[in-house]
Amino acid sequence: MVDGIPTWEEVAREHGSFLYRVAYRLAGNHDDAQDLVQEALLRVRKGLERYEPGSLEGWLARIVTNVFLDDVRRRKRRPADAFPDDPDRVLPESPSAEASSSELSQEVQDALAALPTEFRVPVVLCDVADQSYEQIAAALDIPLGTVRSRIHRGRRLLRDALTDREGFE
């Protein structure tokens, strides 16, 4: 790290999981998430000189979101998940509560992936990337009030999608 500016490798090693997490929740599958992360890291590499020390994760969230939105605009989406999950996570585990929890997570993920992009992006930035409304507004170049209403509408759509699930509410 020089003058508070990390190297590209440091960004990838230290913040790669954050980047991947946001990318996966935006894209909804591993294939696209990998593409997003690789493209985002390329942009990080090119843009590091312009990075001003501050919220690195906010900056990364903004970059990966822009990559995602560019991708949506180009409509070059690839087929869904072709990779297995981390085997560490799919090994048989004993308590049934885990299975139930995992099932719920998948339903939430499915509902999130089904949200229209305009609602999914602010919800992911808020609840996965932990960004403030002001940061989201800056990242998406939309007014603060629009951020608020899109997050709210996104959550209501999620609620509608999940309400039928037994025990969710």
* Contact residues: other proteins, CB under 8 A: 9, 12-18, 20-21, 24-25, 30, 33-34, 37-38, 41, 57, 83-89, 91-95, 97-98, 102, 104-105, 108-109, 112, 123, 126-128, 130, 132-134, 144-145, 148-149, 151-153, 155-156, 158-159, 162, 168-169
Q: How far is the CB of 52 from other proteins (least distance, A)?
A: 19
Taking the least distance from each CB to other proteins, the nearer of 75 and 97 is: 97
| Amino acid present at 132 | S
Please report, for residues 39, 78, 123, 129, 145, the alpha-carbon distance to residue 158 in angstroms, rounded to integers and kept in the order given. Answer: 29, 24, 10, 18, 20
Whole-angstrom Cα distance, residue 64 to residue 17? 13
Taking the least distance from each CB to other proteins, the nearer of 73 and 79 is: 79
**DSSP symbols for 45-84:** HHHGGG--SS-HHHHHHHHHHHHHHHHHHHT-PPPS--SP
Taking the least distance from each CB to other proteins, the nearer of 71 and 126 is: 126
Q: How far is the CB of 101 from other proteins (least distance, A)?
A: 8
